[in-house]
Structure formats: structure tokens, C-alpha cells
Amino acid sequence: MLFFGFYLLFAKAPEKAIFENYLRSRRIMGSAMLLLVANYSIHFFFGIRFVNVNAAILMNLSTYFLCYWLFSSALTTLIDRFYITKKRFRTHLGMWALFSVLSGVILLLLPEGTMQKIGLVIMAAWLIIYGLFLVRRLLLAYYKAIKIFNDTHSDDIGSYIKWMSVLTWWTVIFGISCGLLTFLPDEWVFIWILSSVPFYIYLYHCYQNYLLFYEQVESAMESEITSEKEILCSAKPEETQMQEREVPSYHAEIAEKIKEWISEDGYIRPGLTIKELSDRLHTNRTYLSEYIRTTYNMLFRDWIVGLRMEYAKREMVRHPEWTIEEISKTSGFLSTSHFMKNFKEKEGQSPAKWRKSKASTR
């Protein structure tokens, strides 16, 4: 854990301005891990639970509260670069100080008995609610970012940040479990410490792997997300229904341009974005996005994937000698694995099996 913490805190990243957010996130995460290392070390090497149980519980509660904030901040800032502010920092630091002081009063000043137990239950509930609040904020930013990517990019940019969702839910389970494991008998404390090893290995692996895709994701975020309000807001159902009932006059013009663009197979160009398409069609980007949603009942990426899928199927029939990798590349997919995944979801079988079935019916 010391290695993971120090690595995240001090390891270098590519010397580009765009990696500033990544480094900030990694340093926050590294600080959180070193804080937990200090907590574990005091338990493991100094046996604080054998000396003063209440002091050990106080240390755990205070450490977890602060680590909840650090962990959530590290992940949230990767998808919301506006998240870390001085006001938010002061607010959460103040909440941590208040939580620690009240926990100290309950554990160290109140006599053991019913009142102390009630106080501990209240502090535990506060800690859990606080953690769930941070998780909700993180997941809200995550799912909003996925929607924005799918509405603006033909490539599956969201797949590069899927690990954040997995890690978030694992963190929830791990955090609650750690809280429960701290109340195990003292001789079983090593279970609490060792149970964290797989979690931190996965965390380290995710940060390392994300370096390969971070620049692409961050570039997409910088171009599409210009404020924190944008990543938190969502379209109102009434507005969507109004758009579905009314057909604006510009739809006919866009439909004609899209028809011509599709006939030219413009959708197979890798990395296509809705901005590029709106420029190509000489139309307003917002109008184009609204047209695609209301006409096809799809987000931009789903629509493009559907067009590429039909193109790939035609090419597989037309060129049986081509490999799946060649079909994938020709059709504009991000990678062969993305093509195969999308194909199986749509057709219920792999591209190879689909082509074989078509060949047998000819």
C-alpha cells in the first residue's frame, strides 16, 4: 500500500497541460491511500485497539470520513474538472472537523452505556449518509458524462471511464465492509487489513491503464462540458415531449442533407463527432442533435453505430475474404472488440457466425 500511495502521489505523467486534472486526481487518491496506511500501521504495529478501544474507533471514524471525501474527490475530478473549489474544500474539511470532534466527545467523554451507544449509532449513520451523498454526486457526474459522449461522439468514449463506475460501487461495498470489520475481535484485525489488498491493486491498475485513454476522454470533456452546471443538469421531460409533438420546419432540410451524407457513407469516418457532422451539413449542431433524437429516437452514437453496423453487414456479404478486423476498420469502428461487442448486442451472435449463416443461405 505504501508503494501504491507514493506512486500515485509522486509518479510522473506526460508533460502536457491536459494531464493536469489527471495528476490532481492521482495525488488526491495517493494522499487518501497514505492516510489509510497510517491508520492500518497504528492498528497493526502499535495495537491501539488493545490499549484503548474507543480511541481506535475514533481514529477509524475520523479517517474514513476524510477518506470518503478524498476518494470521491479524486474520481469526481476526473470527469468534472470544476468539482474541486476552495468553497467546497472548506465545507467538507469543516464537516470532517465537526464529525471528528463530536465522535471524540461521544467516545472519550461520555461514560460507557446507552447514551454512548446511541451517539455511536448516530455518528455511524452520519458517516454512511455522507458517503452515499458523495457516491450519488460521483455517479450523477459519471452518467451525465456518458450521455454527453453518446450524444456527441460516434466512438464509445464512455467505455474508457467505465472503470470509475465499477470502482465506485466496489468502494461503497469495501467502505461499508471496512466499517463493519473494525468491530471484529482484536485477534481478527488482520482480516480487515488484508481484505483491502485486492481493492488497492485494482485501483492502481485502473489509474495506470487510464493513462492510455485519458487524453482522448479529457479532450472530449473539454469540448463538450464547459461548466459544472452542465454536467449536473438534465433535460426536463416536458421539454422532450414538446419536441416530440412539434416538428420544426428545419427538419425537412436536415433530412435531405443527412440522406445525401448517408448515401456517401460519411458515417464510416473514425472519430466522427456531431460538431463535425453539423459543420459538414452546414446546419446548427443543436438542431442536428434534436433532429436525431426525435426522428430516430436515438442518441448520436447509437445512430452512427447502427449505420456502421448495416454497412459492415453489407461488406461482409460483399467481401467474404475479408477478416473481421478488416471489416471493423473499414466500417469505422474504434476497435475490433468494440465492433464485435456491438454486433453481438444487435444481432445476438458474433460477426463470424452471422456471415457463416448468410453464406449457407445463398
The 3-state secondary structure of the chain, one letter per residue: CHHHHHHHHHCCCCCCHHHHHHHHHHHHHHHHHHHHHHHHHHHHHHCHHHHCHHHHHHHHHHHHHHHHHHHHHHHHHHHCCCCCCHHHHHHHHHHHHHHHHHHHHHHHHCCCCHHHHHHHHHHHHHHHHHHHHHHHHHHHHHHHHHHHHHHHECCCHHHHHHHHHHHHHHHHHHHHHHHHHCCCCHHHHHHHHHCCHHHHHHHHHHHHHHCCCHHHHHHHHHHHCCCHHHHHCCCCHHHHHHHHHCCCCHHHHHHHHHHHHHHCCHHHCCCCEHHHHHHHHCCCHHHHHHHHHHHHCCCHHHHHHHHHHHHHHHHHHHCCCCCHHHHHHHCCCCCHHHHHHHHHHHHCCCHHHHHHHHHHHC
Which residues touch 210 (CB under 8 Å, ≥6 apart)? 22, 78, 160, 163
Any idea which residue has 471511464 for its cell?
A: 161
Identify any residues that bridge with 153 across adjacent strands, giving them in sequence order. Answer: 273
pLDDT confidence of residue 241: 44
Domains and CATH numbers, the chain: 2-232 (1.20.1070), 235-297 (no CATH), 302-362 (1.10.10.60)
pLDDT in tens, 199-244: 889 999 999 999 989 998 998 888 888 777 777 775 444 344 434 4
pLDDT confidence of residue 78: 92
d(CA 71, CA 168) in angstroms, rounded, equals 9
CA distances from 51 to 56, 65, 138, 254, 297 (A): 9, 23, 38, 75, 64
pLDDT in tens, 11-29: 988 888 999 999 999 999 9
d(CA 221, CA 144) in angstroms, rounded, equals 11
pLDDT confidence of residue 101: 97
pLDDT in tens, 144-194: 999 999 999 998 888 899 999 988 888 887 776 666 665 556 566 666 667
Cell of 143: 452518467
Cell of 290: 434534436
pTM: 0.84
